[in-house]
Amino acid sequence: MNKPLIDRFLKYVKFETTSDENTGVTPSTPGQMVFAKALKQDLEEMGLSDIELDDNGYLYATLPANTTKPAPTLGFIAHMDTAPDMSGLNVNPRIVENYDGGAITLNQEQNIVLAPDQFPELNDHMGQDLIVTDGTTLLGADDKAGIAEIVSAVEWFQQHPEVEHGKIRIGFNPDEEIGLGAHKFDVEKFGADWAYTMDGGYEGELEYENFNAASARITIKGLNVHPGMAKNKMINSILVANKLASLLPQSETPATTEGYEGFYHIVGIEGTVEQTTLTYIIRDHDRERFEQRKREIQRLVDFINGTYGDIATAEIKDQYYNMREKIEPVMHIIDVAEQAMRNAGVKPKVQPIRGGTDGAQLSFKGLPCPNIFAGGMNMHGRYEYVSIQAMEKAMMTIVEICKLSVKQ
């Protein structure tokens, strides 16, 4: 067991860094800055250079090159926040050594159990050491495992000065979980030729395709009159909203799609007879189908207006795009990552992301940035866990990428 790596991770998850999309500031919560300052101190104690923590909670640092051979400047990036889906306060992790394949009781008092009948991927971790929660919080492997792996890989190079590497830039950012992680990331200052986010899940994941993404906020205004005198007068916005929702294909939701299949996902509904608001996220890997989905939302709003009068409006906003179009011209960075994984004893698993990463936005800002596994599973909830062996291999994948990038 790589004790420094695991100790680092166990230290990091103790920081409460839950992000909040409602605050309107960056970082969105003060705990993220507290963590960033602690990380900065760790990097200073390691003797890294160009350490900078800006007012928005973005932390950058450099491990200088130790070779005169040609080598690109490589970047490795992870996010400091944890998802607002569940509490990240008072995280209490524990290690389950040599997992035997049975159910893991996370919290006996509350009867919270992590079991392979509900989470069959546990069967892939037989014999490994797992870090789990106590069932009352998330763990925070997303993405503090990535941070620990990056810092530990840099430390590995410091401890092996005989191994040549180019300039290594590391960056830790806030607010990825609320879609804002890359917004204020200074790509020019970072100065990497290309980078990798360490923010994937299962061991071997390598991702350079993600959803095109948009949000849709549909507002329907009703007409409320006394129900005893409502005939041919009342327009119940709740019923109209329900009608609109029913017109979207029921086979194109997150629960009915996989792989490259896109979807419409209703994430909120709030209303009265007088007014109802529907909130959707729209996702598709294919750019044209993505555009068609947005047009379909508008078509249904137009249909509602044609039926009931002008009572509905749609506010549709693009969020991010598929990074594939930015990665394909530089596919050698994927080849390097695949070979690095093999060198680290990992079987690469190239697959599309059914979501997005900071890397997607960074790629469109001029920094090609595919995503590599960090080892966490069941993210954003009480059943989150991470394999220590997967974390160790992720760390060594970083090392191998840097070694391979030095031209011999």
Return the active site residues: 81, 176
The Cα angle at residue 23 between residues 21 and 27, in degrees rounded to 5: 80
341 closest CA partner among 209, 198, 211: 198
| Residues written for the chain | 408
How far apart CA 252 and CA 241 sit, in angstroms, is: 18
221 closest CA partner among 115, 308, 280, 144: 308
The Cβ of residue 30 has, within 10 Å, a number of other Cβ atoms equal to 13
The Cβ of residue 154 has, within 10 Å, a number of other Cβ atoms equal to 24
SS3 label, residue 133:
coil
**Lookup result for tokens 């350490």:** 51
**Lookup result for tokens 């410091």:** 158
How many CA atoms lie less than 13 Å away from 394 in the CB half-sphere?
38
How far apart CA 14 and CA 35 sit, in angstroms, is: 9
- Residue 11 per-residue DSSP state: H
- Helix (H) or strand (E) segment spanning residue 136: none
Q: CB-based contacts of 223: which residues, under 8 Å, 6+ apart? A: 233, 234, 235, 274
Kindly report the backbone phi and psi dihedral angles of residue 253, in degrees, each rounded to the nearest multiple of 5, phi listed first: -125, 165
